[in-house]
Amino acid sequence: MSKKCIYCSSEISDDSVIDFCKRCGVGVWGEKMFNTILDKMETARDNGDLCHNRQEDASFETMNKEENLGVNTDFQSRFS
């Protein structure tokens, strides 16, 4: 599965630590900040501090949505 830039949908490398292409990254943050972001993200990945897994991302997003919505599974189970 290939990744796509979140801004322009162009294809980016599957092993990229960021979810946007260089053109969009530079357009959003400027070249110096983009390079800093890329460097820090790559360093974090190399140190094992960055875990980027689409399956984990999906689970994390679901968990966050439930917490942000105030979903209480005990409360829901009483009315199911």
Distance between CA atoms of 48 and 65, rounded to whole angstroms? 26
- 78 within domain boundaries: no
pLDDT digits (tens, 9 = 90+) for 59-68: 545 555 555 5
Measured between its terminal Cα atoms, the distance across the chain in Å is 37
Q: What pLDDT is stored for residue 41 in this prediction?
A: 94
DSSP label at residue 12: E
For the whole model, what pTM was predicted? 0.59
pLDDT tens, residue by residue, 20-39: 999 999 999 999 999 999 99
79 is a domain residue:
no
Residue 19: which domain range? 3-72
Average pLDDT value for residue range 6-25: 94
Q: Classify 58 as helix, strand or coil.
A: helix
> What is the torsional sign of CA 28, 16, 68, 49?
negative
**Is 80 part of a structural domain of the chain?**
no
